[in-house]
Amino acid sequence: MLLRMAYLGLTNTFALLRLIPMSNQAKDIEILALRHQIGVLQRQLGDTAVLFSPADRALLAALVHRFLRQILHRLRLLVRPDTILRWHRDLLRRRHARMSRPKSPGRPRTIRSIRMLVLRLVKENPNWGYRRIHGELLALGLQIACPGRECGYPV
């Protein structure tokens, strides 16, 4: 018990010495209190993993990802620095996926004049199926859909 108290006192003293050059003393005290609380949590948890919510992961990753690896290793964190960097990579990957997703899903709308032509072909030729209509449109140089197996659709 006494050894643990001495260790905590010594580590907090070194933490204070590192924070003294900062101008705002209230920030220094708050940082020391937070570091002490993290130390207490790490001792109490032992090898038990801390569960962070996705929002907590994102916030922590966004806050400390700019630090160099050696600085991250010196910080008193509840998770390993590599874990935080992985969280940040996942955050960027999800953001990129969200930004590159098409605005309107599905194939683009067919031009109105082509749609009217298809409806006219259907009306004037009731015995034609979609393959015949598609072939006639291809003969005219218009491709609006890809029927059958050649596009991977079941027939």
Dump pLDDT digits (tens) for 30-87. 777 777 888 888 888 887 878 888 878 887 787 787 877 778 777 777 888 888 889 8
What is the Cα–Cα distance from 60 to 88, expressed in whole angstroms? 9
| Res 23: pLDDT | 64
Question: Residues 110, 144: contact at Cβ < 8 Å?
Answer: yes
Question: Residues 28, 22: contact at Cβ < 8 Å?
Answer: yes
Question: Residues 143, 118: contact at Cβ < 8 Å?
Answer: no
Place of tokens 């009306």: 123
What is the Cα–Cα distance from 134 to 31, expressed in whole angstroms? 71
| Res 93: pLDDT | 92
What is the Cα–Cα distance from 132 to 103, expressed in whole angstroms? 33
Kindly indicate the confidence band of residue 146, based on its pLDDT and cuts at 50, 70 and 90.
Answer: low
Question: Residues 147, 130: contact at Cβ < 8 Å?
Answer: yes
| Res 120: pLDDT | 92
Q: Read off the pLDDT of residues 101-132 as tens digits, 9 standing for 90 and up.
A: 877 777 777 888 888 999 999 999 999 988 88
Place of tokens 């930004």: 99
Q: Would you say residue 12 has pLDDT above 70?
A: no
Q: Would you say residue 150 has pLDDT above 90?
A: no
Average pLDDT over residues 140-146: 78
User: In terms of DSSP H, where are the helices of the chain?
Assistant: 2-19, 25-45, 54-64, 69-74, 81-100, 112-124, 130-139
Q: How far does Cα 51 stand from its chain's mean position?
A: 18
Q: Would you say residue 149 has pLDDT above 60?
A: no
